[in-house]
Structure 1
């Protein structure tokens, strides 16, 4: 699945977000309405992005009375892949170094840190 996820461009990601938020297949009219609010893209741009996503097999188009579009990759799969790529690229694969960087830059407040402690305790089977 990571091979499919790696093919999604930033512009295509905006289309994917619309599909993920919907949680169901959508006709192009609904996708267009949402994207026209969020961006200044015209219909031809949206159609081109959908065509590319279908060609990459990241989105499935089903012909009914009109074409309906459905993601073939989940948002969670995309996020996991992207997070790992970021960690690999910036922190040589070390999630620990990412956390240390966030702590050092004061990007996490006390509540965030406490939540992380709880998460680490849940994942620790030695207790």
Structure 2
């Protein structure tokens, strides 16, 4: 699965987000309508992106009156893979180094830090 997810382009992720947010199969017209609000893509571009996602095996197209599309990869699976890939590439696999970088660059405010502390405490109880 990770090889497939790694080949999803940024533009294709925008299409995937529409499918993930819907939570159900969508016809092209609905996908197009949503993407036209967010981007200036032509219908042909959207069809090309959907075709590529189907070829990669991350979206399934089902023909009825019209084609309906549904994601075969969940948003959480995609996010988990891309987060791990980021940590591996930039921080040599160390999530601790990622957090240290965020703290050092002041990207986290006090509220964020307190929320992370609470998450760490919950994790300690689960062990």
TM superposition score category, shorter chain reference: over 0.9
Aligned partner of 1:2 in structure 2 is 2
Aligned pairs for 1:42-81 (under 5 A) are 42-81=42-81
State the 1:32 CA deviation: 0.4
TM-score by length of 2: 0.96
State the 1:25 CA deviation: 0.4
Q: Which moved more, 1:1-10 or 1:98-107?
A: 1-10
Confirm whether residue 37 of structure 1 aligns to residue 37 of structure 2. yes
C-alpha offsets along residues 33-92 of structure 1, whole Å, 9 cap, x if unaligned? 011111111000000000000011110000111000000000000000000011111111
Aligned partner of 1:84 in structure 2 is 84
Any runs of at least 4 consecutive aligned residues in structure 1 with deviations exceeding 4 A, and if so which? none
The 2-side partners of 1:20 and 1:113 are apart by: 29
**How large is the RMSD of aligned CA atoms in angstroms?**
1.3
Residue-pair matches, total? 127
The 2-side partners of 1:86 and 1:27 are apart by: 33
State the 1:4 CA deviation: 2.1
